């Protein structure tokens, strides 16, 4: 279920991204306003959520491929799921500072 939800969230992000990028041809001033909102701490938290969704979707996708194409995949799917979760958590912990560092400095000061 989480794989499907993250897939839909990623699709929604890509749809919005295409729309806001297309705005540059229609109204460069409005495009600049939209891009300025992307530098807010709230959007940084949403960006961290996007990283979480993409990373989980990618790692779980590899697990799904292994289950489908490896003869022993179905037997080890539970262990592979926990491996995906552990790797995902470790990588998400490593992404805290690069993704949320600027937002933390804006909110709490340098």
Residues annotated in a binding site for heme:
57
Give the number of other Cβ atoms within 10 Å of residue 10's Cβ: 15
The Cα 21–Cα 25 span in angstroms is 8
Annotated binding site: 57
Please enumerate, as own/partner, the contacts of 4-7 that have beta carbons within 8 Å and a separation of 24 or more.
6/53, 6/54, 6/56, 6/57, 6/60, 7/57
Q: Are 88 and 102 in contact (CB under 8 A)?
A: no
């Amino acid at each position: 279920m989480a794989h499907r939800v993250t897939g839909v969230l990623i699709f929604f992000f890509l749809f919005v991204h295409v729309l806001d990028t297309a705005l540059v041809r229609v109204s460069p001033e409005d495009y600049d306003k939209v891009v300025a909102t992307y530098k807010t701490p709230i959007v940084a938290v949403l960006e961290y959520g996007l990283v979480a969704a993409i990373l989980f979707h990618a790692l779980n996708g590899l697990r799904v491929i292994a289950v489908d194409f490896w003869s022993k995949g179905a037997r080890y799917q539970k262990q592979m799921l926990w491996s995906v979760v552990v790797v995902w958590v470790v990588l998400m912990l490593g992404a805290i500072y690069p993704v949320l560092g600027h937002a933390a400095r804006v909110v709490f000061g340098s």
